[in-house]
Amino acid sequence: MNVRNITLDVNGTVRSATAEDRTSLADMLRHGMGLTGTHTACEQGECGACTVLLDEVPVRSCLVLAVQAHGRSVHTVEGREGPGGELSPLQRALVAQHGLQCGFCTPGLLMALHYADGAGLSAEQAEEQILPCHLCRCTGYNGIRAAVRSHFARAGQAAP
Ligand code: FES
Ligand code: FES
């Protein structure tokens, strides 16, 4: 068993943890760093629950080894809160449009939508390119679609 010390910039703070070579980034974030907002379900790259941003790009953190993330930048859902735990505009849109129920899929979906927001995708592009990559067993997607449309329509009028 080969254990290494892994150092990441996580949500703007440099943090370290030990991980075996086989440890996934998702497991290191959850169990090594206590960032349990990143969820795991399928652990096969299918469901999107574990999505985080690695060097600003969405990845399935169940498919990335912790050692591959060494020295790189990671953003998790914990980093999306504003000062004092204030919700981000996307989080507020999901709440307002009933875009979540159990919330299990929500952190990964949020990270991908934040990426889409920053990349300048339209609501239609976000619906077509992001939502099919995130399995939600609760909402039927209607509330999620409504949240995406309302948020991206606003973001088109003003900076997010
Ligand atoms: S847990 Fe990573 S894609 Fe499902
Ligand atoms: S809100 Fe429950 S899985 Fe999406």
Instruction: Walk along the chain (160 residues) and give the pLDDT tens digit of each residue.
Output: 799 999 999 999 999 999 999 999 999 999 999 999 999 999 999 999 999 999 999 999 999 999 999 999 999 999 987 778 899 999 999 999 999 999 999 999 999 999 999 999 999 999 999 999 999 999 999 999 999 999 998 765 544 4
Q: What spacing in Å lies between the alpha carbon of 8 and ligand 2's midpoint?
A: 29
Q: Which residues line ligand 1 (CB under 6 A)?
A: 40-43, 45-50, 60, 62
**pLDDT at site 160:** 40
Query: Which ligand has its closest atom nearest to the C-alpha of 24?
Result: 1
Report which protein residue has its CA nearest ligand 2's atom 3.
136
Closest ligand by atom to 106 CA? 2
The CA 26 to ligand 1 mean position distance, Å, reads: 9
Q: Which of 54, 57, 55 is nearest to 25 (CA)?
A: 54
Q: How far, in Å, CA of 160 to CA of 139, rounded?
A: 25
Q: Give the separation between CA 75 and CA 51, rounded to whole angstroms.
A: 10
Distance 8 CA to ligand 1 centre (A): 21
Residue of 46, 101, 109, 130 best suited for mutating to test ligand 2, as the one with most atoms within 8 Å of CB: 101
In 3D space, the residue among 157, 139, 135 whose CA is nearest the CA of residue 50 turns out to be 135
pLDDT of residue 83: 76
pLDDT of the residue at 157? 52
Residues sharing a CB contact under 8 Å with residue 143, sequence separation 6 or more, in sequence order = 94, 97, 98, 99, 100
